[in-house]
Amino acid sequence: MLPLGRTSLLAQLLRRPSGCRCITTTRESKNTTNLENVDNPPPSDDAQLDEFTKEFLKNRIEMTPFQKILLGAGSSVAALIDPRRHDMIAALGETTGEATLQNILQTMQASEEGQRILTQKPRINTQTVNLKRLRSLAENTLGHVYVQFLDDNVKCSDQSCS
């Protein structure tokens, strides 16, 4: 079996046919140009796609292997020069994380819980969790660490984050 490319893994995670190599961007990104999906338009049954998948498909940019190498090298240098450049660290992760994505996908597909997560695609954010409950969890749990991160970095209250 041929190894899966990074986009093929994302496509499987999003339950979408594979085919292009791409990265995602946001409207706030200043270093990339948002291209329309000329070669790979989104599936015609948009009603079945969740908002995350629609946003991913809308904002992806196709890349050749050469472009991925250049972006990986450039983002590596930029991240080494200024480790606070989170955009460069994210770009580096997206262009070089294929083996990790393969491992994550295989691990998730091998377990019942992972398959359920891939099917349901739940979102963990400040609107979907009870922050007060997370603060009451044991110190080394994901929930407690998540709310501690929010408290330290985003200054959350029990009601909302700013």
The total number of residues written for the chain in this structure = 162
Residue 162 contacts by C-beta under 8 Å, 6 or more apart in sequence?
154, 155, 156
Mean pLDDT by 10 residues, the chain (162 residues): 48 44 42 38 60 84 90 95 92 88 94 91 82 91 88 64 48
pLDDT number for residue 47: 62
Residue 15 contacts by C-beta under 8 Å, 6 or more apart in sequence?
53, 118
At 131 the three-state DSSP class reads helix
